[in-house]
A = this chain, B = another copy of it.
């Protein structure tokens, strides 16, 4: 039997550990099983636009990938082949051409590493054009219900926690409210974990619209105890109860820039209510970059190996996941668009409240 020949691609935003998944797939599939693995650049686009944008992957060109942030294959949010920019301002379905390119390359199937948007495209390719796919979930916000945890999340929490540690030592010296804005448009997991780990006094998450007066009450309570600084973690999707303006991006000139973010909004609401000095730090992409922590490297390696095992077992259409502490798999169909946000009665919220953290509601 001829050895397998498969493609691998990464889609959507960055998460520490993408390269570690790629490396594990290549080390196992090429290094042990002697398959061919073809790396496709910029998500599905590498096959669509430019035939030269694919490359043979071998263990030797995966050296150093375990430690390295980002993805050597590149990624993009733009390229849905089912609704592709036609260059004239419209869109067109180019999935037929993509399927053709996949067959011409002799690829038996694809390992699709990406968030639910990318997985949905993979699934549609399988349903519509019969291209076999196996999925590896990527969501730095940890908001996919199909997997207990994904790589990248723990690294992002570590970066945010380290930032809180730094703000903590400098905040102690002054009478000040320090706000740290972390990732999380729809789910507050990073804010919650980092807030507990970094000793925040208040945490604002999307799932719990906040009453600014509860935060000012916390600041005052702390002052009365002689604690003249307050540390607040704000998820980028956090918003006040009363429905005030919520962070967004606006078109500006030929590009997009950010307007007032979630932390700035809260800073404004606090200063409108009391005499307080605020300082805001927005971590932004610092949370997506850098070397993954050990935990994420192990998880990413397990995910990569499992993806190959799924192909070995002929289980196309499934996506790798973590159940408890074991790697498992689920049908991609069940996994896509099934989100998990922070329930207000989640046990970690209760733990956080027990150690005195205020959520604004």
Q: Are A255 and B280 in contact (CB under 8 A)?
A: no
Is A139 on the interface with B (CB-CB < 8 A)?
no
The answer to whether A68 and B289 touch (CB under 8 A), given A297-B161, A355-B24, is no
Is the CB of A117 closer than 8 A to any CB of chain B?
A: no
Find A28's partner among B64, B193, B284, B355 (CB 8 Å cutoff): B355
- Size category of the A interface is 35 or more
Contact B278 A255 (CB under 8 A): yes
Closest to A296 in B: B197
Complex interface residues of chain A between 54 and 93 (CB less than 8 A to chain B):
59-60, 64, 66-71, 74-76
The complex is assembled from copies of this chain, and their number is 4
- Distance, CA A225 to CA B62, complexed state (A): 14
The segment from A125-133, A240-248, A320-328 found at the interface with B is: A320-328
Q: Which of A89-131 contact B (CB under 8 A)?
A: none
Q: Nearest CB to that of A226 among chain B residues?
A: B60
With an 8 A cutoff between CB atoms, is A338 at the interface?
Answer: no
Is A342 interfacial (CB-CB < 8 Å)?
no
A208 at the binding interface (Cβ < 8 Å): no
* Beta-carbon contacts under 8 Å, A299-358 to B: 301-302, 304-305, 308, 324-327, 347-348, 350-351, 354-356
Across the two chains, which residue of chain B brings its CB closest to A352?
Answer: B301
Which residues in B have their C-beta under 8 angstroms from that of A297? 161, 196-198
User: Contact partner of A169 among B74, B289, B327, B347, CB < 8 A?
Assistant: B289
The answer on a CB contact under 8 Å between A75 and B194 is: no
Check A285–B277 contact: CB distance below 8 A. Answer: no
Contact of A60 among B225, B253, B348, B350 (CB under 8 A): B225
The CA-CA distance from A145 to B10 in the complex, in Å, is 38
CA distance A286 to B280 in the complex (A): 10
CB distance from A24 to the nearest CB of B (A): 5
Q: Does A255 contact B271, Cβ atoms closer than 8 Å?
A: yes
C-alpha spacing A10/B173, complex, angstroms: 10
Which residues of chain B have C-beta atoms less than 8 A from A169's C-beta?
14, 68-70, 289-291
Q: Smallest distance from the beta carbon of A23 to chain B beta carbons, Å?
A: 8
Contacts of A272 in B (CB 8 A): 252-254
Known A-B contacts: A28-B354, A161-B293, A253-B273. Give 10 more (CB < 8 A).
A71-B173, A74-B173, A148-B325, A158-B293, A160-B294, A165-B289, A252-B272, A254-B273, A254-B276, A281-B283
The one of B67, B178, B348 that contacts A285, using a Cβ cutoff of 8 Å: B178
Q: Please indicate the chain B residues that have their CB under 8 angstroms from the CB of A28 in the complex.
A: 354-355
Q: Is the CB of A347 within 8 A of B326?
A: yes
A239: CB under 8 A from chain B? no
Whether A257 pairs with B286 at a CB distance below 8 angstroms is: no
- Interface residue? A51 (CB, 8 A): no
* Residue A159 lies at the interface, judged by CB distance under 8 Å to chain B: yes
The CA-CA distance from A178 to B284 in the complex, in Å, is: 10
Cα of A289 to Cα of B194 in the assembled complex, Å? 17
